[in-house]
Structures are given as structure tokens and as C-alpha cells.
Chains A and B, each alone.
Chain A
Amino acid sequence: MKKFKEKLSGRIFFALALSSISALALITVFIIYKGAQTFIDVGFFKFIFGMSWSPGRDEFGIFPMIIGTVTVTLGAAAIGVPIGICCSIFLAEFAPSALQNIFRPAIQLLAGIPSVVYGFWGLLFVVPLIRNYLGGPGLSILAGAIILAIMILPTIITISEVSLISLPRHYKDGSLALGLTQWQTICSVQLPAAKSGIVAAVILGLGRAMGETMAVIMVLGNAVALPDSILAPVRTFTTNIGIEMGYASGEHQQALFATGIVLFVIIMMLNSLAQYITRRKAK
């Protein structure tokens, strides 16, 4: 009887675990089913490299959005990665436990703020700041990059910190025993040793930035044109779907799903890369 119960509970957990995997399968199949037609109708290269997005006239080119997504994500990385890594070094090596107890929950809280609140804050605070001091309409790559940089901080900090803390203790001890200062130890021993974890953290952060929708819809300006500076408005894949979904039907809707496929593939590649890097280290 006991054995039966053990078996049964195993089965139930298996079924529940399966349901999460099957959700992934369902979503994948659905967006490919809905969007693949666009690649055939419009043509793969015309869709990816087309310069004009005008569903009313059956023009579906997403190249300006690719540029938009890449610039905003890189901008977020340029601001968020140095801050995130420095913060994780501080938490892992320098912070007294009293400070750690303030920092860690605060960073977790940062991850818990809903993205629409980030967007609203960006629209009312960051955007006017950029408009008044740097010029342009304010709704811009820079505004999106700043908001996203803050949003990816928790991901980068938490994962980098874990990879720093989990280094074998004797790495640090040995280095200090050889007469290196703490700063030299961090730069030449600990950071290189934790490199793969930190790189994975950055890649996951980038994936998070790329997939974010609500916050950036509010601050990016959503113009479908190649930006001429970081103060110009752009549109990303996610905002394209978010802003036009409600009104889209027929071919237009297919094209939005096709945009989703492109984003899905890029994020899958980023996540696989992050997994590959962490696995390689584990071996």
C-alpha cells in the first residue's frame, strides 16, 4: 500500500510537471502556426530586412524594429551590466552583513515592482528629464535603456553574486596568502574564476530586457523608423505586438505573430547560450 502511494505521488508530480512543459509546447506550436504564413506571404528576407511597416498597405518589414530592439537592449546592458557586476562584487566581498541584510531584500524588491510601474515612472520622470536637458521628444532609446537597465539589475546582481560566493574558499585564501591585496584577488582570481556565471547572468539579463514590453511601450515612442541618435524614438518587437495587437486582424495579426516568432527564436538562443556557458563551467 505504501509503495503504491509512493508511486502514485510520483505520477501526480510527473503529470503536473508535464503540464508546464506542455504549456511551452502549446505556445510554441500556436505562435508558429499563426505566424509562419507571413514568412511565406511576405518572404523571409523582405520581412526581416524590409524597411517599411505599414499594415494598412500590406507592407510588413521589421528591420527598423530589429535595430530598435538591439540598440535598446545594448543600451540597457551598457548601463546595467557595470552597475550590476560592481554591486554583486560589493555584496559578495565587501558588504558587512548588516548592509547585506538591507541590500538583498531591496534588490529582490526591485525585481518585484510591476513593469507598468517602471514605465509610468519613466514616462513621468525620466522622459521629461531627457526632454529638458538633452533635447528631442524625450521618448527615446535612452529612456528605454535607462528603465530596462534598472529592471535587469536584480537578474544580473543575484546570479553574479551566487557565482562569486560559490567559488571554492581556497581560491581567495591562496591568493591572499601569496600576498595579493583584496582588490587584486577580486580582479585577477575571483572574477576570472566566476566568469562563466557572470556571463550567463548578463545574457539572461539581456533576454529579460529584450522581452520586456509594458515599461518600454510607455517610454520608447514606438516610431517605426531607423533612429538617428539615442534620443530618437524606436519600436522593439515586443512593443510592436503590444501596441497593435488590440486592433490587428487577418494578415496584420499574422505578421504580429511572425514578429513574436523572431523574438522567441532570439530569446531561445540567448537562453541556450547562457545554459551552455554555465554547463561548460560545471564540467
Chain B
Amino acid sequence: MNVLYLKKAIIISLLILSICLLPSCRGAEDRVIAAGSTSVQPYAEILAEEFALAYPDTEIDIQGGGSAAGITAAQSGTAEIGMSSRALKDDEKGLWVVEIAKDGLAVIINPANAVSDLTLEQIRDIYTNDIVNWGEVDGSDAKIHIIAREEGSGTRSAFEDLVMGKDRLITPKAIIQGSNGTIRQLVAGDPNAIGFISLGLVDGTVKALRLGGVEASKENVISGSYKLFRPFLFLAEREPEGPAKQFIDFALSEEGQRILSNEGLIPE
């Protein structure tokens, strides 16, 4: 009796296992993988949704992983499209690149903080831990809580390029968070925090600092007076064809650019 049960159990579990192992059968539709920057990812997903309406036969699969991973994926060809939220370094040139939009980088503080304008040098000194108190930059007497992104993040590396320069490093004492969203949430809750996020993600819960008197806005990025911005790039091993090209063309089309602009990015 027991053996019978055992046999049944084994047969059933084997059946379940084999069903799980069956390759997920898909139709003969085209599939494009776009992988990389987690900053570009949400915008690429919106583009992909709209694209799916126009081209129902092509499936665009948007994956994260970070700019570095996106560049590697494009180089090795594991993804048809790589996504990067920072400019390519010299040893990464040689890929096929197109800029789909620009994204401003906002340095944000809590709305309760009296400070609203800092120079690039002051922000740099805060992030190197040379300025440690809000009192040193005309704020109230309180210790500054520095928040940054983790190593490998495109947002961090854009911030390093644009603000820190070549020789200065973000202090190891900085609090590290894994996404724009958590940084915004922490800054919204902590009156003494400072962080940096994508300009498109700034909302009423945080205050974007003016940079030497220039407001952080799309208009000022376009006019060139606000200096903190970075490119959002689509990359490929070589010039893409077929469905990947269709998707990139869609992103660059009037409609695609309008979608990106509505989401807070700066169109080309």
C-alpha cells in the first residue's frame, strides 16, 4: 500500500517537474532584448508598451542590470540593445550608439531645509565630506546626511563625472541606496539629507537645489544653463536591423520623443 502511494507520488512529482522544465513555448514572433541602466529602464518600458500597440508581432523585453551590464551585453551581443545612462568611456567606443534623450540630474534636499541654492563646488565639498554641517552653507546648524548610489550605477557615475571631477571621490561615509526611489524617499523623510536623482523623478516630496542660481528644470537643461545632465543611450554591437531597428526608430520618432518628454526627460 505504502509503496503504491510512493510510486504515485514519484510519478506525479516527475510529471510536475517535466512540465516545469518544458521550454516556454512562444509563437514565431520577433523578440528583442534591451538590457542595461536601471535609470533608462522605466522609460524604455513605457516606450515598449506603446511600441507593442503599433507592432503587436514584436516583443520587446526590457531588462535592468545597470549601465555597465548594458554596455557589456551590447558588446557581447547577448542583448540586441544595450541601455546606458552615462556617456561611453574611451575603451567602450566602437559600439553603435544613439542618444534617445537627455536626463537632468537633480541634487535634492528635504523641503524643510532652509538651503535652496548651492554651487557645484559646495556640492562637491559636501560629497567629499569637507563640508559636514548645513551651517557652513547658510543652513541651520545640523550634520549633513550624504546619500549616494552604489558603485556601478550609471547615476552615480554621471554624478562623479559631472560634479566630483577626476580626482575627488565620494566619501565612504555616504549612505548608499540602490535606487532613485529609495533616495527620494529617504530625503523626503530626513530634513538633513542630501541626495541626487534623475530630474524626471523629482516630485513635491523633495526640493531640487538651484545650482549657482540656476533652477533644475528641463528648460534650463535645453538652454544649456543647467549643467547637470547626462545622455540616455541605446547601444548595439553593430548597426541594428529588423525589429531592434524598428524599436529604436520608434524611440526617436516624434511620438516616441513626445512620450519621453511627457515622462520628464529632455527630448533630442
**Residues of A participating in the B interface, judged by any CB pair closer than 8 Å:** 5-6, 9, 12, 52-56, 64, 123, 127-128, 131, 136-139, 217-218, 221-225, 232-233, 235, 243-244, 246-249, 252
Contacts and interface: CB of A to CB of B under 8 A. Distances in A.
Nearest to B154: A247
Nearest to A228: B173
B3 A221 contact: no
Given A55-B151, A249-B68, A252-B152, A243 B176 contact: yes
Given A5-B3, A12-B6, A232-B173, 8 more contacts: A54-B151, A131-B190, A137-B190, A221-B176, A222-B150, A243-B176, A243-B178, A247-B69
A222 B176 CA distance: 5
A246 B69 contact: yes
B176 A128 contact: no
Interface in B98-118: none
B66 to A, nearest CB: 4
A52 B69 contact: no
A128 B189 contact: yes
B186 interface: yes
B172 A52 contact: yes
A138 B190 contact: yes
A252 B6 contact: no
A252 B206 CA distance: 33
A222 B151 contact: no
Chain B's interface size range is 20 to 34
B172 A56 contact: no
A249 B69 CA distance: 7
Given A131-B190, A252-B151, A247 B66 contact: yes
Contacts of B10: 12
A217 B189 CA distance: 18
B152 A139 contact: no
A42 B64 CA distance: 29
Interface in B204-250: none
A63 to B, nearest CB: 11
Ranked nearest first, the 7 interchain pairs of A and B with the lowest CB-CB distance are A247-B152, A247-B66, A222-B176, A137-B145, A221-B175, A225-B172, A225-B173
B173 A223 contact: yes
Contact of B152 (A6, A12, A131, A248): A248
A222 B64 CA distance: 21
Given A222-B175, A223-B172, A235-B176, A139 B3 contact: no
B262 interface: no
Contacts of A224: 172, 176
Interface string B112-151: 0000000000000000000000000000000101000011
Nearest to A52: B172
B66 A9 contact: no
A223 B68 contact: no
A57 to B, nearest CB: 8
For B151, B169, B190, B193, which residue has the most chain A Cβ atoms within 10 angstroms? B151
A237 B173 CA distance: 17
A274 to B, nearest CB: 32
B65 interface: yes
B58 interface: no
A137 B175 contact: yes
Contacts of B143: 136
A12 to B, nearest CB: 7
A55 B172 contact: no
Contacts of A243: 150, 176, 178
A123 B192 CA distance: 17
B174 interface: yes
Interface in B163-205: 169, 171-178, 182, 185-186, 189-190, 192-193
A217 B172 contact: no
A249 B71 CA distance: 11
B153 interface: yes
B151 A139 contact: no
For B38, B69, B171, B178, which residue has the most chain A Cβ atoms within 10 angstroms? B178
B261 interface: no
